[in-house]
Structure 1
């Protein structure tokens, strides 16, 4: 079982990584080529690497067979460095704010998962986020994680921690360390937490999970989710993270479901709406992509269509993803020609979901105070709706509840 990963990564050159550690090192192309040749010849760990591993991670690799200690990744075909994968949309919670909407228990069987993970490897994916639904309740989670880890991927897990205490999960993560375990936190007390996730006893299993993970020294970080149900407990959630010494981030902006339903917007805590950073473009579809439970690749979890069937097309299908991304991220409809696009904090796929959900503009548009949009330099009180028609009286619409 490898202790280090050697891999090309985007334009950052060639990296040496250690699973479970945020520390890495950049190496010259010549060193990477040396490792590839040594792996093919079943050689030993070269002096420069065992010395660096000793100094950087206190690892003793002197005299070890390279293939036993280091997973040497081949260059990817398309330069993708990161991906997210929804193992299954099923969940043991029924959170009031969930963006997934319909949380169906369905997905790929084992042979299909192996095929998709091999595509990710061939595409060059080094960092893989496993998510859901709730990935830890997926019946093939342990096998899927094990296989991806053995392919030489740095794995992050997004979870509610309700199963994190289970021995088979803890043993897996001790033996094959994750890069990060990101845990969603829904309250600081049992009454509030259970009410938000709509499952009695959920806080107790969550607390058991984070306690077990802390005792095992697993690399956690917290996402503190704030809604109208728990917005009075944000300070308590912060205290929970700080008591454990876990980094955290507060998420308070609700979005429609991926089907365009407005239900999550009803629990938006208006006082906690946060200003988004200006959206100046992203690498989704170019260096990063998303995979759903059926093996369909898209630029991200929001912009899901068009997509590419990796089971049918394999890694070659990803040749089309960059063009799809460019099309979806281009400002369209009422956003076309807006003179303040440079300070807009909402990407176009997310704007489309807000429009489909008939959301008040205040949730996603910086013109929310006046209801005006600026099209080709001209102020207007109308905007193009998601279906291409004209919607009037935006100032009124912005104040209408969903």
Structure 2
């Protein structure tokens, strides 16, 4: 098993350590040196052993480069980051969920393996595995291990209810993600179980968090603040502090991926935080999203045009940048808007809000600015 990953990344080169977020920037000549040494039996060069010891406190000397470092090839396609819904099914039933109808369907084990090879060939270095609930998928452990073996840096998004599983813990410790983000929906069993519409959910997630902390997983909490649990916001922060887990709060609920409004009712207007101005993103160009069936889109929101990677292979991604550019155009309900430069949401997300007939002040500047467009 490799200790380090050396890889092209956008227009540069990096050395990374699986399970750690910190990296080392490399000059191209150093990357070429490692690549040329990989098949020669040469030991890890002194400059890298010193850097690895300084950055991560590990000793990779006197091991051969081929044993210690996974060398990523220069990608033909420059999609360095991706998110993957390994499934849409979930063991909870939260009202705020943007997925809407959560169906248990998707690729079989062989299909998931093939998809990960396609993502590797696309250049994906940073992979977020999400759901639904990722950890309930029967192929999660094998998929996480394969992504690790292919030289990907993995983040896992989960509700935390399965973190007590010995199989899951073994997978997350041996094929260590650089981050495991757990969503938190309350600070008491009464609120949590009601929010998730599952009896015993709070007990399972608190036990899961304790198991994750004990296993030394790189946990982070996503505190989901809604009308139903906002009264426990301070207590949710206190839980995070007591466990020693960093956290980030989320107050804006999105329409479902089908443009449904049912998820918006859970939003707490009194707790909405101001969003930063949207200034563009790299979706579809250096980032992509893949659903459980292997269909690629520019992101989790902009799914109007998808590429079937299982039918087309990595070559299909040559069209994704143009698709993203079309979806990002301010058309439809935003055509001719004089405030478009102040928007806090992208055009695909605004379209979802419009389809859901959401109140204008949840995604648009008109109400704040008093301008009719």
Query: Residues of 2 paired with 1:164 and 1:294: CA distance?
Result: 25
- CA gap of 1:29–1:369, structure 2 versus 1, over 3 A, is closer
Query: Residues of 2 paired with 1:371 and 1:153: CA distance?
Result: 47
Q: Deviations over 1:65-109 (max 9, x none)?
A: 222211110111121110000000000000010000010001101
Contact 2:81/2:127, CA 8 A, preserved across alignment: yes
Consecutive unaligned residues of structure 1, counting only runs of 5 or more, are: 375-402
TM-score of the two chains, using structure 2 as the length reference? 0.97
Match of 1:131 in 2: 130
The secondary structure found in structure 2 opposite 1:40 is: coil
Is 1:253–2:252 an aligned residue pair?
yes
Contact 1:334/1:373, CA 8 A, preserved across alignment: no
Contact 2:52/2:59, CA 8 A, preserved across alignment: yes
Query: Residues of 2 paired with 1:245 and 1:368: CA distance?
Result: 40
TM-score of the two chains, using structure 1 as the length reference? 0.91
Write out aligned runs for 1:1-400 (5 A).
1-11=1-11, 13-368=12-367, 372-374=371-373
Query: Residues of 2 paired with 1:129 and 1:229: CA distance?
Result: 28
* Residue 62 of structure 1: how far off its partner (Å): 1.2
Query: Residues of 2 paired with 1:321 and 1:242: CA distance?
Result: 41
Contact 2:182/2:222, CA 8 A, preserved across alignment: yes
Which sits farther off after the overlay, 361-370 or 311-320? Answer: 361-370
Q: Deviations over 1:249-276 (max 9, x none)?
A: 1111111100111101111111112221
Consecutive unaligned residues of structure 2, counting only runs of 5 or more, are: none
Query: Residues of 1 paired with 2:323 and 2:41: CA distance?
Result: 42
Query: Residues of 1 paired with 2:223 and 2:162: CA distance?
Result: 18
Query: Residues of 2 paired with 1:45 and 1:189: CA distance?
Result: 51
Q: Deviations over 1:329-379 (max 9, x none)?
A: 1111231222222211011111111111111112111112577431xxxxx
Superposition CA RMSD, Å = 1.2
* Residue 113 of structure 1: how far off its partner (Å): 1.1
Match of 1:381 in 2: none
Contact 2:339/2:366, CA 8 A, preserved across alignment: no
Which ranges of 4 or more aligned residues in structure 1 deviate by more than 4 Å?
369-372
* Residue 181 of structure 1: how far off its partner (Å): 0.5
- Aligned residue pairs total 373
Query: Residues of 2 paired with 1:301 and 1:333: CA distance?
Result: 20
Query: Residues of 2 paired with 1:50 and 1:346: CA distance?
Result: 45
Q: Which has the higher contact order (CA 8 A, sep 6+)?
A: 2
Query: Residues of 2 paired with 1:353 and 1:339: CA distance?
Result: 20
Query: Residues of 2 paired with 1:22 and 1:118: CA distance?
Result: 23
Query: Residues of 2 paired with 1:345 and 1:35: CA distance?
Result: 43
Query: Residues of 1 paired with 2:300 and 2:191: CA distance?
Result: 28
Contact 1:361/1:371, CA 8 A, preserved across alignment: no
The secondary structure found in structure 2 opposite 1:119 is: helix
Query: Residues of 1 paired with 2:343 and 2:42: CA distance?
Result: 54
* Residue 238 of structure 1: how far off its partner (Å): 0.7
Query: Residues of 2 paired with 1:225 and 1:234: CA distance?
Result: 9
Contact 1:84/1:130, CA 8 A, preserved across alignment: yes
* Residue 211 of structure 1: how far off its partner (Å): 0.5
Query: Residues of 2 paired with 1:61 and 1:268: CA distance?
Result: 50
Query: Residues of 2 paired with 1:309 and 1:227: CA distance?
Result: 35
Query: Residues of 1 paired with 2:101 and 2:371: CA distance?
Result: 34
The secondary structure found in structure 2 opposite 1:306 is: coil
Query: Residues of 2 paired with 1:61 and 1:249: CA distance?
Result: 35
* Residue 44 of structure 1: how far off its partner (Å): 2.4
* Residue 140 of structure 1: how far off its partner (Å): 0.3
